[in-house]
Amino acid sequence: MERSLGIFLFVVIANLAISHLAQAQSQEGFISLDCGLPVNEESPYEEESTGLQYTSDATVIHSGKTETIRANLESGFVKPLWTLRYFPEGRRNCYNLNVEKGRNHLIRARFAYGNYDGLDNGPKFDLYLGPNLWATIDLRASNSTRKEILHIPTSNKLQICLVRTGLTTPLISALEIRPMGNDSYIIESGSLELFLYRYYLSESSTAYISFLEDVYDRQWRPYFLKEEWTQINTTSKVGNNNDYDPPKDALATAAIPTNASEPLTYEWSNSDNPNASYYLYAHFAEIQDLRANDTREFNILFNGQQYDGPLIPKKLEITTIVNSSPRTCDGRKCSFQLTRTDRSTLPPLLNALEVYTVIEFPHSETEESDVIAIKSIKDAYKLNKIDWQGDPCVSQYLMWDGLNCSISTNISTPPRITSLDLSSTGLTGTIAAAIQNLTQLEKLDLSNNKLTGGVPEFLGNMKSLTVINLSGNNLNGSIPQALQEKGLELSVEGNPMLCVSDSCRKSPKKKFPLAIVVASVVGAAIVIAVLVLFLVIRKKKSTVVEGLHLLPGASAVNATFANKSSRRFTYSEVVKMTNNFQRVLGKGGFGMVYHGSVNGYEQVAVKVLSQSSTQGYKEFNAEVDLLMRVHHTNLVSLVGYCYEGDHLALIYEFLPNGDLKQHLSGKGSRSIINWSTRLQIALEAALGLEYLHVGCKPPMVHRDIKTANILLDENFKAKLADFGLSRSFQGGVDSEESTVIAGSRGYLDPEYTHSGRLAEKSDVYSFGIVLLEMITNQPVINNQSTEKSHITQWVGFQITKGDIIDIMDPNLGNDYDVNSAWRALELAMSCANPSSSKRPSMSQVIQELKECIVCENPRIHNNRGLESQEMNVSLDTAVVPMAR
C-alpha cells in the first residue's frame, strides 16, 4: 500500500515537473518586456493569467524615464501595463533587440497612458520598425492601445523606435516578440499588421484565448452575430497541427448561418485606409456528427469573387485557407462569405478568422558594416548623443546629426555613410581605427577637438575620401606620405605639435661629440635669456605708450585678436574699402555699419565703433570674442578687423537681402517672403542658435534674438548677427547670474527679466516671439492696444476662435498648408511659454520645424507640379524629406 502510494506521488510530481518544463520551453525565443519596470524590483516575474515571464526593459534601451500609471487605474490593466517608459528627450528613442534573421516574428507593442503625469492629456507620436514608419499612436481619446505585426527581420538586430511628432511625450508600456512557425504567414512582400482583432466564433463574451492555449501567444477574441448565426460546438479534441497551429479551444466552436440557405457573411470597413490590401486566414474543422447522407460543402468568396473552394471541412481536423495574393476592397467595405454548393445538405461553418493588412516598408536599413563602424566610433569616443539611435541614415529627417548618407531609390541598395562631422564635440584620445571601415566615406571632419597621437596611415588608404579636416587638435608627428600624395583637401592647422613639412620625415640618427652637444645647449640658453629680456623690456615700453591713448579695456581686444587668422586691416584701408564711409547700412549702440568692398569685388559690411560709446565698446568686445572663435553656416562670418589706436572696426560678409524684419514689413522695397521660405529661414536661424547652445565650448546665449538680427543672403539663407550682448556659460552649466538685464523690448524672456538668471531657454523665448512675427506679421508690442499689447496675448486671443486664417499673415494669401501652419503656431507658443521649464530646447525646435516643412512640401509639389523644389530639411546634408 505504501509502495503504491509512493509510486503515485512520484508520477504526480514527475508530471508536474514535466509540465512546468514544457511551459518554460514553450517560451523559448520569447521577448516579454515590462517597460519601465525597475531592474531590482520583481524582474523577472510571472504574469498571473498567462504564466509568461516578463523582465525589465532596462537592458535593451538606454534612454527615457520610468513611471507608473495612477493607482486607481491599475485594476483596469494587466500587470505589465502598470509601469511605462516615457521619453521627454530626443527625437527618436529605440529598443535594440536580438532576433532570428529571416524568421517570421509576431511583434506586439502595448501602450497605456493611465494619466501617469497627472495632466490627463494622452500623447500622439509615431512608432517605427527599423527605418520605417509602422503606425501612429494616438492616446488622446483612448487611454490605451496596442499594435501587432508579423514581420521578418532582415538582420539579427531589430530596432523598435518611438518618434516624437509634436510637443507631447511618447511612451510605451509593454513590448512582446514571439518567433513564429517557419512556414506560417508567408506572403508575396511586406509585413502583416493585425486588423482589429483575431476572432474565434463563439457566443462567449469573456473567454479570451492566449498563451498557453496558443503556443505563439496570439490573442483570440470571441465574436458572434447572434441574429444571423447559430453556434455549434464539440467536447471532442480537435486536431490543430498545421503551419498555423491555432489553439484547440478556438476550433471547438463554430458558427453556421441561422438561415441554412443563406451564406455566412463577415463584413468590415477601413475608413483610415480604404486602399488597404488584405490577407485572410480562415480556419475550418467539422465539429458536428454528420449523418450518412449529410454533406457540408461550400465556396469561399471575397467581395463576391470566389478565391477558394468548394471545401469540405475535415472531421475534427483543421483546414486553413489563405488567399495566395493580397486582396483589396471596392470602396471602403469588405466582405468575406461562405456559400453552400448545390449538392451541400448543410450550411457552411467557420471556426476562426484572422484578417491582416499588408504594410510595405520602403526603406532598407543602412549597410550593416557601416552601422557596426559608426557604433564602434560612438563607443570609442563615448558619444552620448541622444539622437544617435535607430538607423543612422533612415528615415531621412531622422538621420543622425553629423552624418550624410547616399540613399538609393532602389530598395535592394542599402544606404551608405558618406560624410562624418564630429567637429567641436569634445573628442579625446586618438583617431578611431573604426573610421576606416566606413568604406564609402567622402568627407571627414574631426576639427576643434582634443585628439592626440599621430595622423593614422589608414586615412591615406581610404579610396573615397576627398576632404579631411583635422584642424584644432593636439595631434603630433608628421603627415603620412600616402595621405600627402592622395591629392585630397586636407586641413591640419592648429595642431602645434604636428609637423607638415618634408623635414619631418625621419632620417638616420647621427652621433655628435659630447662637447659639441654641451656647447650647443649653453649657447642656446644664452640666446634665449637675451631674447626674453629684450621682449620684457619691449612689452613694458609698449604698455606705457599704448596705454596713453587706448579705450578702457582695449588691451583685452588686443589679447582677443592675438594669433588669429582673420585679416587685420589698417584704418586707412577701412576708409578706402567704405569709399570714405559713403553708404550707411545701419546704426546701433556701437556706432554705424557701412557698405564696403575688399579687393575690389568682395562685398563686406563694416561695423565701426563710435568713440563716444562706452556700452558700444563692451558689445564690440563681446562680438569680437565670439566671432573669432565660432564658425557656423548660419552665423554671420567675420572677414577681418581693424585695431589701430582709437579706431576699432569689424568687417563682416555682406548679406544683400538685408534683415528678416524688413521683408516682413515690406520696408525698403523688400519683397514679402512666402510661407515655405519663412519656415526655411526659421529652421536655419534655429540651427545657428543650437550651435551657440550646444556646439560652442563653453556654450553661448545670444540674448538679442529678433527679426532685425536675422540677416539673409542672396538665396535667402538665414544667418544670425549682432553678438554684442552674447554671454558664455563657463563649464557648460545651465544658467548663470547676469548683473544687467539686456535684450530688446518684447523679445525679453519674462522669467529672465524677473529673476536676473540667464539661461539658454531665454533665447528660446525670443525665438518663439520671432516665429510668431513670421507667422502673423503682427507687431511684437502694439501700443494701440492695452489688453492685447504683446503679440503672445493677441495670438492667444485669436487661438480661442479656432481659425488659423485670422492668425496667419494676410500677405501670404492663404498660400500655405494648414497643418504646417498650426504646427508652427503651436511650436511658437510653446517656445514663448512664460515658464522656461515648459519650453522646448533648440534641438527640439529644429526637429519640429522639420516636421512643419515635411507637411508643407507635398502642397508645394502639388501646386507647382514637377518644376517645384521641395525644401531641404537637412540643409547641408543635401537630403530632401519625403512626405509621410
Distance in angstroms (rounded) separating the CA atoms of residues 647 and 566: 17
Q: Is 630:696 a contact under the CB 8 Å cutoff?
A: yes
- Please tell me the distance from the alpha carbon of residue 704 to that of residue 708, in angstroms, as a whole number: 10
Euclidean distance between CA atoms 452 and 431, whole angstroms:
8
Query: Residue 373, Cα to own-chain centre: how many angstroms?
Result: 20
- Compute the distance between CA of residue 813 and CA of residue 273 in angstroms, rounded to an integer: 32
Q: How many residues does the chain have?
A: 884
Q: Which residues make Cβ contacts (< 8 Å) with residue 508, sequence separation at least 6?
A: none
Compute and round to an integer the Cα radius of gyration of the chain: 35
Measured on CA atoms in the order 790, 795, 801, 803, is the torsion positive or negative? positive
Write out the E strands in 663-756.
Answer: 700-701, 710-712, 718-720, 727-728, 735-737
> Is residue 607 marked as binding?
yes
- 70 CB burial (10 A radius; 0-12, 13-18, 19+): middle
**Nearest-angstrom CA–CA distance, 261 and 733:** 79
Contact 566, 638 (CB under 8 A): yes
Could you check whether the bond before residue 212 is cis, i.e. omega within 30 degrees of 0? yes
| Residue 705 phi, psi (nearest 5) | -75, 125
Query: How far is 646 from 374, CA to CA, in rounded Å?
Result: 52
**Of 718, 710, 713, 628, whose CA–CA distance to 681 is shortest?**
718
Q: Maximum distance among all alpha carbons in the chain?
A: 124
Secondary-structure breakdown of the chain: helix, strand, coil percentages, each rounded to the nearest 5: 30, 25, 45
The alpha carbon of 258 is separated from its chain's Cα centroid by a whole number of angstroms, namely: 54
C-alpha grid cell, residue 592: 554705424
For the four alpha carbons of 876, 877, 883 and 884, in that order, the dihedral sign comes to: negative
Sign of the CA dihedral running 532, 536, 542, 545: negative
User: Is 704 in the active site?
Assistant: yes
Q: Is residue 531 exposed (0-12), middle (13-18) or buried (19+ Cβ within 10 Å)?
A: exposed
Cα 376 vs. chain centroid, distance in angstroms? 20
User: Is the peptide bond between 834 and the residue preceding it cis, with omega within 30 degrees of 0?
Assistant: no
Question: In what side-by-side order are the strands of the sheet with 132-138?
Answer: 92-98, 157-164, 124-129, 132-138
Answer whether 660's CB lies under 8 Å from 774's CB: yes
Q: Kindly state the cell numbers that stand for 168.
A: 507631447
Residue 828 CB burial class (10 angstroms; 0-12, 13-18, ≥19):
buried
- Please list, in sequence order, all residues whose beta carbon lies within 8 angstroms of the beta carbon of residue 156, skipping any fewer than 6 positions away: 98, 99, 100, 101
- Name the strand (E) or helix (H) holding 752: helix 750-755
Which residue out of 704, 722, 749, 817 is catalytically annotated?
Answer: 704
Terminal C-alpha separation, the chain: 76
- The C-alpha atoms of residue 173 and residue 35 are separated, in whole angstroms, by 5
- Bridge partners (DSSP) of residue 641 are 568, 650
Please spell the DSSP secondary structure of 549-565, one letter per residue: TSPTTHHHHHHHHTT--
| 602-609, strands of its sheet edge to edge | 567-569, 638-644, 647-653, 602-609, 591-598, 584-588
What are the φ and ψ backbone dihedral angles of 640, each rounded to 5 degrees?
Answer: 180, -165
Binding site, annotated residues for ATP: 607
As annotated, the binding site includes 607
Catalytic residues: 704
